[in-house]
Structure 1
């Protein structure tokens, strides 16, 4: 009996080692593909060589397991890790115009001065008038916080924006985004492998929503967040702190762990640590259900009605690029239902 258990234990250990080697080899292969500073042909040869090495290790693990062979693979992992640690984020590249500047700010009592607030006039994704402005906001005039979700690659994934409204009619939005340089195009797969930086964009709401609804024709939904004024202030300041931190110490964007939704969730959770973790933070397209389930009062609406009343794309298309854009995308009666993240 003990001999049988010993055999099973050895088998499970070998199976686990095989799985670890196989998965790590695939991951390293992608890392090499996306990060080796080589011409495409040389890069392909390097990835092929790594694949052959990994297959040889796996074959020997099946046919003739040996700690020498395993040690050789561990040595390869160490060499890879040493190289991987040299790939660092940077703020010093020739960035695409729409992400050329991350927001930074200073605070003096109720007055926040933000540098690099984006206010583009968009005609198409490649035709626009650039404007980066310095703006001042009075936090005593904070009136609303809205969660905006934009769908652009199916129902599972949505881009997340937090938008603040003030009693003087201003609306400012914060959007955590990838920061490609002028040679790069977005790739969700590449986003796992330190290809893109993370940037926090502060933008006039007409800019950041209009480009998605009227130029890219994405489906956008706006959900008010129920929050006392003190909570709005704390959340706004947390974005200012995040922008300053990214300017001082850049970070990589990660498709799974450091993206537009996870950044927003971490900021809101800092205000209410009791806000539960949920798979819908990663599959951000399902956030409306999360909002619906964790609101603090009854809306009187079904899930479908709650979501339908949040749709703003048709309103944005009708409004066009006008000064009254923010008012036009909000129904006069508002939306019932909100997500409480800070209670008075």
Structure 2
């Protein structure tokens, strides 16, 4: 107990920073210029992978019209060794068929790997990765070999637009004022919940399935946030996209084909 108290006190003296030697794929933060309906997102990630650890880092700037955002998909990637824990993401669909993924992650330094235990003790900064599906989904499904579930949400275009706007504003805040990741209170899923509840108050009440995001898809289904015209077990089965992601990993129409 004394060791835990000492560790906690020590953590409070650490200051979050954006100036460290970051892993190459997390070296740049997304920063957006917002001008009415037009948003220019700098540092959209578009890495290409030979293996999970061997990749070419690519970024580009993307200009979008907020009014072109039409849909939001909820992506759940359970941990292979602990499926009750998962990484969760959102993907935004545009009128032209393009998609942008928002993934809330630890910002790793070059020597670091993720540890849930370390995540309690201010060991990682928090970052938003905004990137292509051919980068972020491919990495999870084809290189980490994790199961990937992609669910269409019931969000209307106006809600999708509000949600993306809130996300890019939050990413800008982190670029100006870095924060620490926390395994329980400031992670991928809690940030998604915060965004949704900000645009639609109390849409997602507190529930243990937020702390155990491997069940977050089932929770979203129970709240009516996903298509519930079919039983959840069927939806869960049909939403797994690994086979399609493997088949079309190098296809220019990757995003459309994994939704077939």
Q: Deviations over 1:225-258 (max 9, x none)?
A: 1122221111011111111100010000111111
The Cα RMSD (Å) is 1.6
Q: Deviations over 1:253-305 (max 9, x none)?
A: 11111111111111111111122121111100001211221116873322210
For the residue of structure 1 that corresponds to 2:19, the secondary structure is: coil
Pairing partner for 1:291 from 210, 220, 229: 220
- Matched residue count: 258
Q: Deviations over 1:179-229 (max 9, x none)?
A: 111122211111111111101110011110011111111100011111222
Unaligned runs of 5+ in 2: none
Pairing partner for 1:133 from 57, 60, 65: 60
Tell whether 2:242 aligns with 1:265.
no
Shift of 1:99: 1.1
Shift of 1:309: 1.3
Correspondence for 1:301:
230
Shift of 1:26: 4.3
Contact 1:142 1:232 in 2 (8 A): yes
Larger radius of gyration: 1
In 2, Cα distance between equivalents of 1:317 and 1:297: 25
In 2, Cα distance between equivalents of 1:227 and 1:288: 15
Higher normalized helix content (fraction of residues) = 1
In 1, Cα distance between equivalents of 2:65 and 2:225: 28
* Change over 3 Å in CA distance of 1:296–1:151 after alignment to 2: closer
TM-score by structure 1 length?
0.72
Correspondence for 1:27:
4
Unaligned runs of 5+ in 1: 1-21, 33-80, 332-344
For the residue of structure 2 that corresponds to 1:123, the secondary structure is: strand
Tell whether 2:144 aligns with 1:216.
yes
Contact 2:116 2:183 in 1 (8 A): yes
Q: Deviations over 1:139-166 (max 9, x none)?
A: 1211211000112242201101100010
Higher normalized strand content (fraction of residues) = 2
Contact 1:122 1:129 in 2 (8 A): yes
* Change over 3 Å in CA distance of 1:176–1:167 after alignment to 2: same
Structure having greater relative contact order (Cα 8 Å, sep ≥ 6): 2
